Amino acid sequence: MSENSTPSTQSSNASNDSWAFLGLRLFLAIRWFFAGLEKFGTPGNYSFENYYAKMSGMAYGIAENSIMPGWATKVFALPLGYIMLLLSVTMLLGVKLRISLIVSLLLYVGLSVGLMAVDEQHGIAWLGIHVIMSVMALKMVGSARWVVWKD
């Protein structure tokens, strides 16, 4: 403990860290929810049929416009929406947050690779911000409170 640090300021800092992490965690959870839900169709018209048509089209589009093979884009694209929704739930509830954040980080990197392959600069920048947010959340995971299942 430093000279200027007292137990009450340490407690306040820990509380601030917990609230900051909660805000970041909620943002990422809600972001994953809407990104995953969007894969199933359009507002008012969600279905598994829409999902598989959309994700197959995405995989085909990336394979056709890049050096990535079709089988690899399909393996990545088909479970994507389900993984996004699962990440949303685990982050929102606080289920194994460290693992959820690592999967989230790797998924954002994977999505970035797909956009890099088709030279989609605008999307890459947005995903880069999400990568940074996931890294920050992973570094702050020790401050997690209000969780269902700790790591």
Region 11-29: mean pLDDT is: 91
With bands split at pLDDT 50, 70 and 90, how would you rate the model's confidence at 2? Answer: low
Region 98-125: mean pLDDT is: 95
Q: Measuring CA to CA, how many Å separate 2 from each of 10, 17, 50? A: 10, 19, 58
Task: Report the percentage of the chain scoring pLDDT > 70.
Answer: 93
135 pLDDT above the threshold of 50:
yes
Question: What's this model's pTM, rounded to 2 decimal places?
Answer: 0.89
Region 41-63: mean pLDDT is: 94
Question: Which pLDDT score is estimated for 151?
Answer: 84
8 pLDDT above the threshold of 80:
no
Question: Which pLDDT score is estimated for 27?
Answer: 98
State pLDDT tens for residues 82-108.
999 999 999 999 999 999 999 999 999
With bands split at pLDDT 50, 70 and 90, how would you rate the model's confidence at 73? Answer: very high
Question: Which pLDDT score is estimated for 9?
Answer: 65
- Asked if 59 and 72 touch (Cβ cutoff 8 Å), the reply is no
